[in-house]
Chain A
Amino acid sequence: DVKVTQSSRYLVKRTGEKVFLECVQDMDHENMFWYRQDPGLGLRLIYFSYDVKMKEKGDIPEGYSVSREKKERFSLILESASTNQTSMYLCASSAPRGYQPQHFGDGTRLSIL
């Protein structure tokens, strides 16, 4: 089975801090994704990566950056955390081709105080 592991299930940080969310997958997938999930808004794509060191902006990239130095790891960075970034963050990975399903991690519930 595909395993997508997010480093923290719950995280509390302060406004202005630099926050790192880590995601690791064990299936050698080329594609990795970061989503934000908010009630009533569904999942919104923040960034995705289709190869090492490659990244593309999603629908809501403002205030976030990403890093993919190794194929299995995709990090989401909040450069200067703000209270409106309090949310559930989901990481996913998939093999190439659009019909391949995405496999999700358990999510990180991030609170910015």
Chain B
Amino acid sequence: AQTVTQSQPEMSVQEAETVTLSCTYDTSENNYYLFWYKQPPSRQMILVIRQEAYKQQNATENRFSVNFQKAAKSFSLKISDSQLGDTAMYFCAFASQGGSEKLVFGKGMKLTVNP
């Protein structure tokens, strides 16, 4: 069974700084998908970014980028120019390529961006 580990339960950063959230996973599969989701306080969970394991190029979405290290089974999220609106719980998630479309989530990390 796949597992996803987010080892840092909480982080804080100053506005405009860069922060990196770590995520490691365990799987015996070769093709799969990885996601970062964001859950702002009292608001809906939304997708931040996703990566397909067969793609070597790291995904980027505006201020958000990932560092995908397949051999190390590492999938970190970098947030550049942090904004107050980035304050949220962040969840790393794994999905298999074949079979059901279930997501396996990490336990989450609370990020606080301070003014």
Contacts and interface: CB of A to CB of B under 8 A. Distances in A.
Interface of A: 31, 33, 40-45, 48, 50, 56, 58, 90, 92, 94, 96-102, 104-107
Contacts of B8: none
Contact of A100 (B45, B96, B101, B107): B101
Interface residues of B, number: 24
B100 to A, nearest CB: 7
B44 A48 contact: no
Interface in B88-115: 91, 95-98, 100-103, 105-108
B52 interface: yes
B33 interface: yes
Contact of B96 (A41, A42, A98): A98
A109 to B, nearest CB: 10
A104 B43 CA distance: 10
Nearest to A105: B44
Interface string B49-60: 010100000000
A102 to B, nearest CB: 6
Contacts of A31: 101
Contacts of A56: 100
B35 interface: yes
Contact of B50 (A45, A101, A106): A101
A41 B9 CA distance: 11
Given A97-B101, A101-B50, A40 B9 contact: yes
Contact of A99 (B43, B95, B106, B108): B95
A42 B106 contact: yes
A58 B95 CA distance: 14
B11 interface: no
B8 to A, nearest CB: 13
